[in-house]
Structure 1
């Protein structure tokens, strides 16, 4: 197949074969003057993305009662629900509840943990005060042979084991372990009241006698 071209001098049509005509057109269009205003690859991808978003929103607004206004109302309601759930549930957990160990690497006595807890409480550092007081509780039970010293024990495990030999304090031990986990791994901040309850529990446990027949071996499981 051939193409007709018009000569500028006498306007007599000139027949040009298909292949040379295509090559000539490609050479002409490849000149920078035709491409300098073309968008780059990134711009074309960005335009394509926003076009897809626009198509999606148009389709959603068409299917939503009230059109675009109805879609906007739905989005606002969803955002408000997410905010309400966030406020209701509190800070998101950074790790699984009860998944972390109770003690740090350095071994300290119950008295040392109590002293550290009191120092933090005096400075109103309630998070650290609760953490150290819970460690004092568990270390004290280990020193009294009510719990077997066991590396890697969690606060929940210690509370469950201690509750078998001290059933009268089982609920308070469980609550104390939950407070420890929430503060240490859940991102929640402790309060002065929580520390006061934990301190009272520590003092009460010091005066408590274990249930007869309970053994640390059974508690360690």
Structure 2
């Protein structure tokens, strides 16, 4: 019995049926997107880099990793912008012994020096003591909070500079006297704080040792 193929695949009618069938939503949803095509092309390119002699792409691996990392960093810059340092914001919000003060340690030292030149020892002592606290806070050696007192700061600072413990306690007393007890201050008190500030600038906290 001779059977004939009911539809000729090369006929225009069959081709039209095929186009109609492929145009159905389920076939369109299954089509790869441009991202799928691009991802596949990148994967094929990376895979081709490893198709050296014996399939070993070891020598190229560091270069590939560096290129990928560089690409991610560049993409992050374009997407998120340049990262901003948060230290400036922390200084803007810093409270130094009851006074909101956004100045840096260098700014405070300069203000103390100007007051000393004019003979205003009260301001000179206050600004110089705040400069000491700001400097250690900026270096994250001591954390000064809005409720930190001069005595508490001296105790914290003495932990990272044990040799300056007595000088720190004396500096805190001098600050409290001119700040809260209306003492006049003196050039000697100011110079005491200047010397302490200079010594504390050389303090370095040793890195923690790693135990094998």
Partner of 1:120: 115
Measured in 2, the distance between the counterparts of 1:103 and 1:212 equals 33
Separation of aligned partners in 1, 2:198 and 2:175? 17
2:141 counterpart of 1:154 = no
Change (3 A) 1:113 1:103: farther
Higher normalized contact order (CA 8 Å, seq sep 6+, divided by chain length) = 1
Task: Find the partner of 1:197 among 170, 192, 196.
Answer: 192
Matched, 1:135 2:130: yes
Structure 1 residue 196 displacement after superposition: 0.6
Checking the alignment, whether the CA contact within 8 Å between 1:183 and 1:190 is kept in structure 2 is yes
Distance 2:198 2:152 in 1: 21
Bigger shift: residues 106-115 or 175-184 = 106-115
SS at match of 1:153: coil
Provide closer, same or farther for how the CA distance between residues 119 and 196 of structure 1 changes in structure 2, counting only shifts above 3 A: same
* TM-score normalised by structure 2 residue count: 0.51
Tell me which residue corresponds to 2:49: none
Q: Offset of 1:154 from its aligned partner?
A: 1.0
Asked if 2 retains the 8 angstrom alpha-carbon contact of 1:167 and 1:211, the reply is no
Summarize deviations over 1:114-137 as a string: whole Å, max 9, x none: 010001001010010000000000
Q: Provide runs of 4+ in structure 1 moved above 3 Å.
A: 210-213
For residues 114 and 208 of structure 1, what CA distance do their matches in structure 2 show?
Answer: 18
Tell me whether 204-213 or 116-125 shows the greater mean CA deviation.
Answer: 204-213
Deviation at 1:103, TM superposition (A): 4.7
Within 5 Å, give how 1:90-109 maps onto structure 2.
102-109=97-104
**Which 5+ residue runs of structure 1 have no aligned equivalent?**
1-100, 214-221
Contact 1:155/1:177 (<8 A) preserved: yes
Deviations 1:50-88 (A, max 9, x none): xxxxxxxxxxxxxxxxxxxxxxxxxxxxxxxxxxxxxxx
Label 1:211 to 1:160 Cα distance change in 2 as closer, same or farther (>3 A).
Answer: farther
Q: Displacement, 1:169?
A: 0.5
Aligned residue for 1:207, secondary structure, equals coil
Give 2:139's aligned residue. Answer: 144
Hey, what's the Cα distance between the residues in 1 that align with 2:161 and 2:136?
10
Q: State the distance in 2 between where 1:160 and 1:211 align.
A: 19
Aligned residues: 113
Q: Per-residue deviation at 1:189?
A: 1.1
Contact map agreement 2:133 2:144 (CA 8 A) in 1: no
Aligned-residue Cα RMSD (Å) equals: 1.5
Within a 5 Å distance, the mapping from 1:25-104 to structure 2 comes to 102-104=97-99
